[in-house]
Amino acid sequence: MHDSVHCQCIAVFSSSYPNPTPTKVRKKRERKHLIHMAYYLSVLPYLFLPLLLLFNSTTTAFSLSNTINSCPSHCNAVDIPFPFGIGPHCAALPAFQLSCQPSHPQPLLLHNTALRVLNFTNGQLIVDSTPFIATDCALPHHHHQRTLATISLPPHGPFTLSGASNSFIAVGCDTVAALAESGTFATGCVSLCATKESLVVSRSGRGGGCSGVGCCEATIPEGRRLLSVGASSMFGYANVSTFNNCSYAFLVKRGGYVFDQHHLGMMDFPRRVSISMRLNWVIPGDLSFTLCGDNSYSFPLFHGYLCNCSHGYSGNPYLNGSHGCQDIDECQDPQTNPCVSSARCRNRVPGYKCECPFGSRGDGTRAGSGCKKIFQIVEAILGTGMGIGAMLFCGLWFYFVLRNRALIKLKEQYFRQNGGLLLKQQVSNREAGADCARIFSKEELEQATHKYDESRILGTGGYGTVYKGVLEDGTVVAIKKSRVMDRTQIDQFINEVVILTQINHRNVVKLLGCCLETEVPLLVYEFIPNGTLYSHLHEKSPSSPRIAWSDRLHIAIETAEALAYLHSAASMPVFHRDVKSSNILLGDNLTAKVSDFGISRLVPLDQTQVPTLVQGTFGYLDPEYFQTSQLTSKSDVYSFGVVLVELLTGHKPVSTERSREDSNLAVYFLTSLKCKDLREFIDRDVMREDNVEQLKSVAELARKCLLLRGDKRPSMKEVAQELVLIASFGRCHHDGGDHEVEKQEEFDHLLTFSKSLSSSSLSSSAILGPQESLPHALPATLDLAR
C-alpha cells in the first residue's frame, strides 16, 4: 500500500515536468516532494483541531444540559445546586457528589464522608457538626468517659474548614478544651466557674457569648482539612460535682450556639443540641479553563476559583442556557423599577434604559436626574402652585401657633391645679444635692412611650394604666397614668411625692418624679423587668421555671426589710396599706421590689395609727383594720403574713377552687396548720427540697403575722430579723409558753371575720381576685394603676 501511494505521488509531481531528466536528478526531486507531502500530512490535523474542539464543546454542553435536566434537583427540602449533584453523572467533579437518604432527618450526605449537608451557598457548605462533639464526663468510682472527635476532609479535595465563619466552643465549669492539627496543638480555651450562682446567666438561664465562665470560645485556623477536638477536666470536677460533671468541645458556625446553664452536666448534651459548621469549597484548577457558564466570570481563590454571574444577571454561574445566569428584567415591576413614573423603562441584555417622554429631559432614573419638563407653561403653573403653597403654609403656621398657645395655656392650667407651684417650691427648699422629685414635661413622657402606644402597656387596673417608657438618656422607666384625681387633696399629694422620692432602699421601687401638665398627674418610677411575684407563683406555664425555696425565702426577707424600712427608718413613716404579691416586683436575680404606693399613707412621727376609710385587697385585708378603720403598721404585717402563706403553699389568697369555708387563704392555712401534716398543704415544689425545719419555722412566723389582734403581731423589723435567722440556722426564735389556746381563739375570730366579710355588702357581688381592690374603697391621693 505504501508503495502505491509512493508511486502515485511520484506520478503527480512528475507530470509537472514534461522534459526527461537524468535519473539522479529525478530521484533527488522525488525525495524533496515526498518531504513536502509528509509535512502537509503532519500539519493537516492541526488545521482541523479548532473545528474538532468546537464540535466537542457543543456536544459536551448538550450532554451536560441533558444530564442536569435528568438529575434530582433536591433531597427532601434541601435544594441541590450544580456543581453539586446526586450520583456520579450529576456532579461536576467526583468530590461534589452527594448521597440522598430520604428516611433520615438530615438526608443529604457528602459522598464517601460522614458529613451531612444542611444548606449550600456559593463557596460554602453548611454541614451538621453534632456528630463531632468531644465529651468528658465523670462516672462513679472516679472513672471518666472521654470521647474525642475528629473532623476529616479529603486531603487534596476542594473542601476546607472555614476559620472566619466558625468558632471553637467549650462548655463546662471545670473544663480545658483543645483543638489539634496532625497531633500539634492549634488552639484551645479554659472554662471555669466556682459556683452555680457565679454564672452570669444563673437567674435567666440563657446568655449571649462565651466569656470563660461556664462556656469559652476560641478562633480556629483557616483552611484546615483535619482537626481533632478534645475536652477534659482540670481538677476532676472536685469543686463543681454537685452541678457539673461533664465537659464538651465542638466546632460551630459563628453565632450558631447560645449558652444555656442547663447544658452544664447534661449527660446527653450531643443529642439535645443542634449545631452546624461551615466548609469552604472551590473549583480546583486555574483560570485558563473554568466551569463558568454564559454571562458569568471567575475569580481566583486559594487552590482554585469560584464563578459569579455578571452584573445584570442572576442564576447558577456554573451552567449555561436556562439553568445558568439569566438577564434580570429590571423593568418587570413598574412599582420597583429604577425609572421614574413618567419615564418608559426598556430592558436590555444586560441592564436597562429609561426613556423620558417628549418634552422632558434627563436620564429618567430615580437615583439620577429623572425627567424634567422644559415647557414655559409648566414653569408658570409651577410658580402659581408655589404661591398657593406659600399661602397655605402661612395659614397652617398661623393655625399651629394659635393651637400651641392654647395647649401651653392648658398645660399651665393643669400644672397649677395639680400643685405644680407647690412642688417647685418644695423642691427649691431642698438642700443642694439632696434627692428630690423631678418634674417631667408632657412631651418628654409622650416621646418616651411613643404617645402611649398600646404596645408599651405593662398592665392595667381599676385606677389606670402602666406604660413602659425610655427617656432621652436611655433610662427605662414605668409611667403610671391614673384615671381619677382627688382635687381636694392636692397639698397632701405633693407632700407625698416629695417624701416618696426620698425613699432610697434597694428593695423599694424608686419614684423618680411626676408630670403635672396633664389632666391627671403621671408618676414615673424605675422600671423592674421581671414582672410580679404573683405572676411567678400563680400564672406560670408548665415550661416556666419554678421558684426554689431558697429564692422564695430570699424574696420574703427583702420584702420584710423594705416594709421595716418604710415603717421605722424613713424620714416620715409610711404605711403601705396594700401589701400583696402583685405589688412585689422581681428585678434581676429575683431581687424583690415593693411597689404601688397608690393608697399608702404617710404617718406623722408622733402617731402610731391613722383613722382612714378602709382600703385594700380582699384576701390580704387586716381584720382589725377592717373592723376599726384604724390603720397601723401591724396592718402591713398581716398582709405580709398572707404573702408568706402564698410562698409556702403556692395557693392564691382567694380561690373558688377551695371550699367556701376555705376560700380565704389565711383561714385555709390556719385550719391546715391545726389539723393537717405540713406536707399535705405546703407547695410540692418546696417540699421536694428537704428543708422541713425552715418550712415549719416560716409557717409559725406566718401564724404570728396573722394574729387577729395587731398588738400581738410582731413588728416588720422583728419579722425581718426572724426570717434572716431562719435562713441562717433553719429555725426561728420561739417564745416560751403554750400557744394552743391562743391559736384556737385567733382561728375562731378569723373564721368569724371571714364569714362576715363574705356576707357583707363589701363582697356581695362576687369574691374578688388578688389583683382587685375592695369595690367600695375610695381612692386616696396616690391611687395608681394596678
Helix (H) or strand (E) holding 282: none
Handedness of CA 348, 351, 357, 363 (dihedral sign): negative
Contacts of 655 (CB under 8 A, 6+ apart): 663, 665
Q: How far apart are the C-alpha atoms of 23 and 35, rounded to whole Å? A: 19
Helix (H) or strand (E) holding 403: helix 376-417
113 is written with which cell numbers? 464522608
Measure Cα distances from 260 to 257, 376, 382, 529, 615 in Å: 9, 71, 64, 20, 45
Residue 228 identity: S
Selection from 148, 117, 114 nearest residue 133 by Cα? 148
Q: How far apart are the C-alpha atoms of 705 and 321, rounded to whole Å? A: 85
| 90 neighbors 67 (Cβ within 8 angstroms) | yes
- C-beta neighbour count of 364 within 10 angstroms: 24
Residue 765 identity: S
Name residue 345's beta-bridge partners. Answer: 354
Q: Which residues of 726-760 are buried (b: 16+ CB within 10 A; e: fewer)?
A: bbeeeebeeeeeeeeebeeebbeebbebbeebbee
751 is written with which cell numbers? 373564721
Is 578 one of the catalytic residues? Answer: yes
Selection from 151, 144, 143, 141 nearest residue 247 by Cα? 144
Selection from 444, 461, 446 nearest residue 784 by Cα? 461
Pick the catalytic residue from 578, 636, 662, 783: 578
Q: How far apart are the C-alpha atoms of 494 and 418, rounded to whole Å? A: 8
Residue 662 phi/psi, 5-degree rounding, is -105, 15
3-state secondary structure of 449: coil
Contacts of 765 (CB under 8 A, 6+ apart): 775
Selection from 126, 117, 204, 205 nearest residue 166 by Cα? 126
Q: What is the pairing mode between strands 166-171 and 246-253?
A: antiparallel
Q: How far apart are the C-alpha atoms of 196 and 202, rounded to whole Å? A: 7
Q: What does the CA dihedral 310, 312, 314, 317 come to, rounded to 10 degrees?
A: -10
Q: How far apart are the C-alpha atoms of 103 and 456, rounded to whole Å? A: 47
End-to-end C-alpha distance for the chain, whole angstroms: 114
CA angle 310, 311, 316 (to 5 degrees): 45
Q: What is the pairing mode between strands 85-86 and 97-100?
A: parallel
Q: How far apart are the C-alpha atoms of 174 and 213, rounded to whole Å? A: 10
Q: What does the CA dihedral 620, 623, 629, 632 come to, rounded to 10 degrees?
A: -70
| 453 neighbors 444 (Cβ within 8 angstroms) | no
Burial (CB count <10 Å: 0-12, 13-18, 19+), residue 289:
exposed
Residue 727 identity: A
What are the counts of helices (DSSP H) followed by strands (DSSP E) for the chain? Answer: 17, 38
153 is written with which cell numbers? 476532609
Selection from 589, 533, 551, 593 nearest residue 694 by Cα? 551
Residue 355 identity: E
CA 288 to chain centre: 49
Active site residues: 578
